[in-house]
Amino acid sequence: MTPPRLDIVIPVYNEGANILRTLQSIARAVATPKRVLICYDREDDNTLPAIRDSRAALGELAVDFVRNRGRGAHGAVLSGFAASQAPFVVVLPADDDYNAGILDALVARADSGCDIVCASRFMAGGSMVGCPWLKALLVRTGNFTLYHLARLPTQDASNGFRLFSRRTMDEIVIESDRGFCYSIELLVKCHRLGWQIGEVPARWIKRPMAPVVSGCCAGFRFTCAGTLMRSPRPISGGRRGRCD
């Protein structure tokens, strides 16, 4: 079997109703040699039997289970990072069965020299469908501010769906300890180091019963401000590090 070039980290919590559609979309749409890392908290999570009982429906898709060594979504993702070995790692929501078709494009941008490639809802070709007005206002305002004022080289800094290079995984220390704030932290630190950042258009479709305000919105309050102030090699002027 060809060694994976892409590890797909999927944090789960009772996603039995959604996970097969997501995995089948990956098996169909992604040509890059890949492996899926299902990162879970408890052995009674209904995601696990949903996958184990339907392996035949996934063909040759490599799926490994990774027990969360920490707490919550943050611990699950970091456990996935620790278990990953491929040159590139992407974090994908468990219910995202419509964006698998852009994973090869994320890898292509990384191959061109990007250390982070963001899946962007707010660049040309991206979209955000069914978002409650309050969350839409907060997300769009936060991302507008980070792009135009903080000069981060992506129009969607708050989306946790993005690809990271092995260098990013191995050389940048994650200091945040909640939710998906690690994603913004890695983005900011990568930018402050002058490493290349790219983006690819992506879709977002509201999940039924999703919370109105995401953890990434809350993360704007401290993660971005803290890492912008603490990270090395301050950047002055211009939007350096954009990988076009």
- Residue 138 pLDDT exceeds 50: yes
Q: What's the whole-model pTM score?
A: 0.86
The predicted structure's pLDDT at residue 216? 46
- Residue 225 pLDDT exceeds 50: no
Length of the chain: 244
**Mean pLDDT in the chain?**
88
**Higher per-residue confidence, 244 vs 73:** 73
* Sign of the alpha-carbon dihedral angle for 154, 86, 95, 126: positive
CA 84 to chain centre: 14
The predicted structure's pLDDT at residue 243? 73
Report DSSP state, residue 224: I
Q: Could you name the CATH architecture of 1-112? A: Alpha-Beta Complex (3.90)
Q: Write the CA distances from 62 to 51, 90, 166, integer angstroms.
A: 12, 15, 20
* Amino acid at residue number 220: F
Q: Is 51 in contact with 63 (CB distance < 8 Å)?
A: yes
Residue with tokens 């999940």: 207
d(CA 115, CA 172): 11
Residue pLDDT, tens place only, 24-70: 999 999 999 999 999 999 999 999 999 999 999 999 999 999 999 99
Domain boundaries, given as residue ranges, for the chain: 1-112, 125-159+170-193+206-239
Phi then psi for 160, rounded to 5 degrees? Answer: -75, -10
pLDDT grade for 23, boundaries at 50, 70 and 90: very high
Phi then psi for 116, rounded to 5 degrees? Answer: -135, 135
Q: Is 89 in contact with 169 (CB distance < 8 Å)?
A: yes
- Residue 10 pLDDT exceeds 50: yes
Please, which residues have CB within 8 angstroms of residue 184's CB and are 6 or more apart in sequence?
157, 158, 176, 216, 219, 220, 223, 224, 227
From the list 216, 226, 182, the residue with the least C-alpha distance to 79 is: 182
Residue pLDDT, tens place only, 151-191: 899 999 999 999 999 999 999 999 998 888 899 999 999 99
Report DSSP state, residue 75: H
Please, which residues have CB within 8 angstroms of residue 244's CB and are 6 or more apart in sequence?
198
